Structure 1
Amino acid sequence: MSVQTSEAPPRGKVPPRPAGTGPSPSGRGGVKGKGGLPYLLLLPALGLTVVFLGWPLVTNGMLSFQNLNMTQLIQHVTEWNGVSNYTDTLTSDTFWRVTLRSVIFTAVNVVAIMVAGTLIGLLLARLGSRMRLLLSVGLVLAWAMPPIAGTTVYQWLFAQRFGVVNWVLAKAGFASMADHNWTSTQLSTFFVISLLIVWMSVPFVAINLYAATTTIPKELYEAAALDGAGSWQGFRHVTFPFLKPFLTVATFLEVIWIFKAFPQVFAINEGGPDRLTETLPVYAFVEGVGNQHYGTGAAISLLTILILLALMSYYLRLALRQEDDDETETSEGGTAR
């Protein structure tokens, strides 16, 4: 019987790879012809985005350079006025007051949502299974409620004559609140709107944060406890580093959602009293549709988008930097293995 032996390759030389095995020089595993497949799969989504988002945006942009009022609509006349709508808007003190009001309104609500959502999410992680299920169901119901339906409920709760809130406060000893009008002043109206928005937005943060806590290895908490770490130190050194990427993304999304919130702000009091609770989306609607200055309304809406992009530029850079750091850590971990 003869035994076949294979000679070891000379030192410093790599034996030739058998044909058809292993990755190709291009790094694609030898599979050819699939370079355009991802783009082909993206075509339906891109097509729908262009039709339902891109085309209205282009139309709105063209409208912002026109002098379009009810007279032009009736006569079917197109009057181009260049950048007059933009110059009139940017030189208006009202626009900048509304912009500052929108930024403050967004900041206050986002902070309240993130704090309350984080606390409730951490509470979900510590509750038993039954209480966690009960609280989760309540959060999902609040989150799933349509904005107009939620606004109607809050209008009933804070109604001047038959509102539940006024009745409870009067029974608690605050007799002056029996017929209090919550939409009579700017601050009280914003309080009701903010309470509604926070109530509808907290479930998203809380449920997703609880899901993020389930990915934290329990061994880290055990090691921290052995090192003498208390609850705050465990949260600071174990929980928070794991939740930081989620909190960044959640803050990013909440800023977008709150800044462009329209149904809650408009339905509570239509931007009143005396247009003191108008935010930029409501201001654009009132100027465009309410006052029939459609070109001006279109210009305000596009400026709103630009302001939102400017506000979100920091979070965009932060998210991209974090993604690059994650890719670097992954590649270094693969190299070390």
Structure 2
Amino acid sequence: MSAQIDQVTAEPVTRTGKGGAPPPRRGRAAAGLPYLLILPAGVITVLLLGWTMVKNGLLSFQDLNKRQLIRRVTEWIGVDNYSDQLSSSDFWKVTFRSVLFTAANVVLIMALGCLIGLLLARLGTKLRLLLALGLVLAWAMPTVAATTVFQWLFAQRFGVVNYVLDSLGWHSMAEYNWTGSQFSTFFVVTVLIVWQSIPFVAINLYAATTTIPKELYEAAALDGAGPWKQFTSVTFPFLKPFFLATTFLEVIWVFKSFTQVFVINEGGPDRLTETLPVYAFVEGMGNQHFGVGAAISILTILILLALTAYYLRLVLKQEEDEL
């Protein structure tokens, strides 16, 4: 009997297709089909984004102002635009301001978005549908339209916010100018950006929580774990990749936000609320130093690439720890 078992196990197993025929081998055409399918999207991306990046990069090595435009001449100045910005205190002030602004927004977005996402997971069907509908409507509103609405809400004379605060007894806020100082302007912009970004985090977090097996929560409850312990021992470990990916996306989106900051007060007062995208626009289009604006935009992209590299390093380290 043992000899027969050894003989059976020693015989190679031949995979067969239909009717006992060997399975068809994938040719080179079939192996290259996925790349062929993404080729149109890749070509369009290169044409719309890649060529623009190349032109912007070339422009950053030029001295292009009104004089050059009128005379239609190209003056190459090498890396002078970059060296001037890297040695400028204004550039580093704006960069530091952009980092602080991004950090504050991302912390608020992730904290409030995660709380609302966990609330969605605990609500009943009707309340969950109602809250999800409100989140989707807030997220789908165009940025310029939402920014205009917030301008009306925080208007100095006829704004709803000032009217409500005055009605509640805070009479000094009756005609408060929300765009008159750096802090209050950033407050309005932060409220706007957080309001727009929470739906993405909340809905994605709720979708991620539906993939967690309920048996794990039941086992944790049997062990005497409360809500916080269940979150730290069950929910968060499962959602950690989601937290990393979503935080990274929010950092990019907030860091490069332009419309909200510019439309609210155009980087004022006294250019104290300019972030790097607004700073590049004001220097390039406002002051018509187009080469300088292009150089600032390239430096902004390099900062985002550094953040991307750091994120990828965290992801790879996490995968190595799990292995």
- For the superposition of Structure 1 and Structure 2, which TM-score range results when normalised by the shorter chain? over 0.9
Residue 3 of structure 1: aligned partner: none
Residue 136 of structure 1: aligned partner: 132
Give the one of 48, 52, 57 matched to 2:48: 52
The one-letter code of the counterpart of 2:255 is F
SS at match of 1:304: helix
The one-letter code of the counterpart of 2:26 is V
Residue 34 of structure 2: aligned partner: 38
Give the one of 158, 182, 186 matched to 1:186: 182
Say if 2:2 is the partner of 1:15.
Answer: no
SS at match of 2:105: helix
Asked if structure 2 preserves the Cα contact closer than 8 Å seen for 1:20 and 1:30, the reply is: no
Gaps of 5+ in 1: 1-6, 329-337
Instruction: Report the Cα offset of residue 11 of structure 1.
Output: 7.3
Give the one of 308, 312, 317 matched to 1:312: 308
Residue 105 of structure 1: aligned partner: 101
CA RMSD of aligned residues (A): 2.1
Quote the Cα distance in structure 2 between the aligned partners of 1:98 and 1:140.
33
The one-letter code of the counterpart of 1:195 is V
Asked if structure 2 preserves the Cα contact closer than 8 Å seen for 1:98 and 1:278, the reply is: yes
Residue 331 of structure 1: aligned partner: none
The one-letter code of the counterpart of 1:14 is E
Higher-helix-fraction structure:
2
Gaps of 5+ in 2: none
Does the C-alpha gap of structure 1 residues 14 and 198 become closer, same or farther in structure 2, counting only changes over 3 Å?
Answer: same
Instruction: Report the Cα offset of residue 322 of structure 1.
Output: 4.1
Deviations 1:99-121 (A, max 9, x none): 00000000000000000000000
Moved more, 75-84 or 294-303: 75-84
Give the one of 81, 99, 117 matched to 1:121: 117
Instruction: Report the Cα offset of residue 75 of structure 1.
Output: 1.7
Identity of aligned residues (%): 68
The one-letter code of the counterpart of 1:30 is R
Quote the Cα distance in structure 2 between the aligned partners of 1:304 and 1:196.
22
Instruction: Report the Cα offset of residue 143 of structure 1.
Output: 0.3
Does the C-alpha gap of structure 1 residues 227 and 295 become closer, same or farther in structure 2, counting only changes over 3 Å?
Answer: same
Residue 70 of structure 2: aligned partner: 74
Residue 64 of structure 1: aligned partner: 60
Quote the Cα distance in structure 1 between the aligned partners of 2:15 and 2:147.
69
> What does 1:190-205 align with in structure 2 at a 5 Å threshold?
190-205=186-201
Does the C-alpha gap of structure 1 residues 292 and 12 become closer, same or farther in structure 2, counting only changes over 3 Å?
Answer: same
Instruction: Report the Cα offset of residue 307 of structure 1.
Output: 1.1
Number of residue pairs the alignment of both structures matches: 318
Residue 153 of structure 2: aligned partner: 157
Normalising by the residue count of structure 1, what TM-score does the alignment of the two structures yield? Answer: 0.89
Asked if structure 2 preserves the Cα contact closer than 8 Å seen for 1:212 and 1:243, the reply is: yes
Instruction: Report the Cα offset of residue 319 of structure 1.
Output: 2.5
Does the C-alpha gap of structure 1 residues 16 and 314 become closer, same or farther in structure 2, counting only changes over 3 Å?
Answer: closer
